[in-house]
Structure 1
Amino acid sequence: MRAPVIPILFLSLTGLTCLAGCTDFPDLDERIEPAARTAPYPALIPLDAVLGGGTEPQITDTTGTDLEARASALRARAARLRAQVAAEAES
């Protein structure tokens, strides 16, 4: 006859939780530097300034052609690097 899984699992998790509660936590207050202890509280700013409008899109009429030129240059660079690695592997 098989023992029910759920009670065993529950008892195991309860035991682990109780065991974790018995641990000694390190004194974190001792690790704070004196300069940090005496530092002023940071200034609070409105949430709208943090979440609000980012920069406007910077897409212009030439963005598409600029991206195509950059992609082409990157493909050419990748081909040169592949050729260089292949040449080094052969020698």
Structure 2
Amino acid sequence: MTRRDRMQIMVSILNTCTRGANKTRIVYQANLNFRTVNPYLDLLEKKGLLQVTEDRTTLYKTTPRGLELINNFSSINEMLNL
């Protein structure tokens, strides 16, 4: 089993949040823990790739810019056959 790099982790988080997700769903879907997910969520929000909404619960949703990053990352992986 190989370790994922930061970019793979961030794309995994963005994929999980395409329809909106709470932190628990992100942790389980992206295979992270609650301690390591926070810096990624903060970074993705600051870069405008995730939108955070707080109603009754906090939900994270991938922005159009985040969706563009997912598509670009997938294209690069296909070109490199990864």
Please give the range of the TM-score, normalised by the shorter of the 2 chains: under 0.3
Give the TM-score normalised by the residue count of structure 2. 0.24
Give the TM-score normalised by the residue count of structure 1. 0.22
Larger radius of gyration: 1
Query: Greater RCO between the two (CA within 8 Å, min separation 6)?
Result: 2
Higher strand proportion: 2
